[in-house]
Structure 1
Amino acid sequence: MIFTILKVIGIILLVVLALILTALLCVLFVPVKYRAVGSFDNTDIRAKAHASWLFHLFALHIEYADETDGYIRLVFVKKGLFADSLGDNYEAFNDDVMDDAAKTETEDKISENTGDGPKIPADESEHITDEQAEDECTARTHNEYRSVTDENQHIKQQTKLTHKKRSKKTHKKQFKDKSDRIKNCIYKLKREYSDERNKAAFLHLKKELFIILKRICPRRLKLTMVYSTGSPDTTGISLGILACFPVGYTNRWRITPDFESEKPYAKGSFDIKGHVIVISILAATLRILFDKNCRRLYNRISR
């Protein structure tokens, strides 16, 4: 009996270890495939991007045309992206609050004015009919409701403007802090690069980063374009500049200059396709982390 229980426990442990090993091998060796296709005609840009892993069980899809749309899929669960942002929710919340306040204030004023009916002097009550009194009360209530609505619309606009100003100030402050950090990091890198002891670390980083970029770069990069800068001379100069980059003729780009057009324009289509294997990126990252020169450089910069 005891041996049977131990046998069952051992089988369960082996199955769990096999599943963990299979999952680890899938993460390391199954490539993440990506593809982006689209077209452009001056400012009219339409594009689709799709990334998938493990037989499309995990996928990310984004489309851009007049609006941005997309979804993410985890196995059989699909969830849409680009939900309402915090600013939209904030404005919707303010609209609801203002509408409720407007309704409450209007109802209070209506109840005050129509509680006992319109006040009519005693000597003129016989000359005013019930229909005239009702019309007068309705007109007065409508005017008061309109004034309350206009006032609440003004309050809404002021609230939105205040919120936008605060968000702009916050974004400016965050952008300034990030830019200061980047400047400090660049200054430290320049200072350390001038030190002869860190040249080996920078050379190693350059080598490994080129390897990572080579693994990430797309295997196919097609481009078909017809363009003009509005002037024949600048169109020819730009074509010569584009011909200097080997990425164009190695992928057989079809770029046609239009020397006769007097207006600048660009229209065409593109197709980008590639894949990334995690083990290659991980190996390059580990080589950087375990290099003693890189570790010393990191310790000096992070002080």
Structure 2
Amino acid sequence: MLAMSLRILTVIGIILLVVTALLLAVILLILFFPVTYDVRGSKCEKELKVTAGARWLFGLLRMKYRYPEPGRVIVKALWFTLYDSGSAGEEKEEKDPGKKAGAREKKGKKKNPSPAVEENADDGGTACTEAARETEGAADCGRREADVVRTETDASTGAVSDFDEEKGSGAAGSILKKFKKIKYTIRNIYDKIREVWENISYYTELLREEDTRQLFAHIWLRLDKILRNIRPRHLRADILFGTGSPDTTGYAYGAYCMVSSALGKGFLVTPDFERAVFQAEFEVSGHITLWVLSVNALKLFLDKRLKAFIRKLKKAKTKKA
């Protein structure tokens, strides 16, 4: 009995060890195996084409995006399609005609209004015809006539009162209202400027503190490592441009020559001094390692100086309130 229990526990331990090893391997693959990406496109006079893709684990998981509109996103794992925005759009288009047909059938089933009601609508509702009296009743027609007369009376009296009010106030009233609005706006702007001025000394002192300076240096260090991780490893571009004016084209080309060494040899720009044109072909590729992103983000999030800085900002906001 004891030997059987030990064997069962041994088998369970081996299974747990294998599952743990598999989970650890998957986590390490996700964190350390890079995700490669590439973006390719071309820009003609009136058309822009872009194709972007990402691959992970030698193409085990792939994603593609195509432009122009309506665009299409495809996500595949091996040869299985996990998501296809094009197929979803086709399904919606197939479902929409059925909905439209159902809506048309419902509209066709609705009863048409009686000719008596149409006559009353054309006449402005001032009188009831004999057909309306027969269908709706004399009491309802009389009530409707009274409502119409009352509405007309109220409208006429309202128009007269509005006319008297406008006549009494005149242009002076409208000028006074505009002056009050301007005064209210100026007062709000003044209050906001005063609040900022009262707290500007607090913010300047906060930025001059040694902990704040060290925090900004730490943030810049982490952002620099993240940007180095996601930056393109390969960049190629062939651009033909012209503004339509030789002088402005020359100025733009001179600015490009000043930064051309930083862009690399794959970035080629050709000016056209005779016409306004912009044509380009580009290709960008690189890879992203999730381990670098997660470690730098975690170190920045756990920094005590960041928490203290946020706490001081909140303290300034409470003082302002």
Fold in common (TM above 0.5)? yes
Q: In the aligned structure 2, how far is the partner of 1:217 from the partner of 1:18? A: 33
1:194 matched residue in structure 2: 207
CA radius of gyration, larger in: 2
Q: In the aligned structure 1, how far is the partner of 2:268 from the partner of 2:260? A: 13
C-alpha contact 1:205 1:294 (8 A) present in aligned 2: no
The Cα shift of 1:302 comes to 5.5
C-alpha contact 2:243 2:249 (8 A) present in aligned 1: yes
Among residues 88, 94, 109, which one is paired with 1:104 in the alignment?
Answer: 109
TM-score by length of 1: 0.64
Q: In the aligned structure 2, how far is the partner of 1:207 from the partner of 1:93? A: 58
Amino acid at match of 1:257: P
Q: Which has the larger helix fraction?
A: 2
The Cα shift of 1:44 comes to 0.6
C-alpha contact 2:34 2:56 (8 A) present in aligned 1: yes
Residues 1:247 and 1:78: Cα distance change in structure 2 (over 3 Å): farther
Q: In the aligned structure 2, how far is the partner of 1:92 from the partner of 1:57? A: 38
1:170 matched residue in structure 2: none
C-alpha contact 1:39 1:270 (8 A) present in aligned 2: yes
2:24 matched residue in structure 1: 21
Amino acid at match of 1:279: W
Residues 1:88 and 1:301: Cα distance change in structure 2 (over 3 Å): farther
The Cα shift of 1:290 comes to 2.6
Is 20-29 or 206-215 further displaced after alignment?
206-215
Amino acid at match of 1:241: A
Q: In the aligned structure 2, how far is the partner of 1:296 from the partner of 1:48? A: 44
Query: What secondary structure does 1:194 align onto?
Result: helix
The Cα shift of 1:286 comes to 2.0
Q: In the aligned structure 2, how far is the partner of 1:77 from the partner of 1:301? A: 48
Amino acid at match of 2:214: A
C-alpha contact 1:223 1:269 (8 A) present in aligned 2: yes
Q: Deviations over 1:68-125 (max 9, x none)?
A: 11212245343212645xx999x979845641332213xx66xx9xxxxxxxxxxxxx
Identical amino acids, percent of aligned pairs = 28
The Cα shift of 1:17 comes to 0.9
The Cα shift of 1:245 comes to 2.8
The Cα shift of 1:298 comes to 3.0
The Cα shift of 1:283 comes to 1.7
Q: Write out aligned runs for 1:104-143 (5 A).
A: 104-105=109-110
The Cα shift of 1:300 comes to 3.3
The Cα shift of 1:227 comes to 1.0
Matching of residue 277 in structure 1 with residue 282 in structure 2:
no
Q: In the aligned structure 1, how far is the partner of 2:37 from the partner of 2:234? A: 11
Matching of residue 293 in structure 1 with residue 296 in structure 2:
no
Q: In the aligned structure 1, how far is the partner of 2:75 from the partner of 2:45? A: 30
Q: In the aligned structure 2, how far is the partner of 1:238 from the partner of 1:290? A: 45
Is 65-74 or 218-227 further displaced after alignment?
65-74
Q: In the aligned structure 1, how far is the partner of 2:55 from the partner of 2:234? A: 17
Calculate the aligned-residue CA RMSD, in Å: 3.2
Q: Deviations over 1:16-53 (max 9, x none)?
A: 01101101110110001110101001331001000121
Count of aligned pairs: 220
Unaligned stretches of 5+ in structure 2? Answer: 115-195, 316-321
2:164 matched residue in structure 1: none
The Cα shift of 1:296 comes to 1.5
Amino acid at match of 1:244: M
2:84 matched residue in structure 1: 80
C-alpha contact 2:48 2:68 (8 A) present in aligned 1: yes
Unaligned stretches of 5+ in structure 1? Answer: 113-183
1:175 matched residue in structure 2: none
Q: In the aligned structure 1, how far is the partner of 2:16 from the partner of 2:104? A: 62
Residues 1:280 and 1:253: Cα distance change in structure 2 (over 3 Å): same
C-alpha contact 1:243 1:249 (8 A) present in aligned 2: no
Q: In the aligned structure 2, how far is the partner of 1:40 from the partner of 1:63? A: 14
Q: In the aligned structure 1, how far is the partner of 2:207 from the partner of 2:228? A: 28
Q: In the aligned structure 2, how far is the partner of 1:19 from the partner of 1:257? A: 57
Q: Write out aligned runs for 1:35-54 (5 A).
A: 35-54=38-57
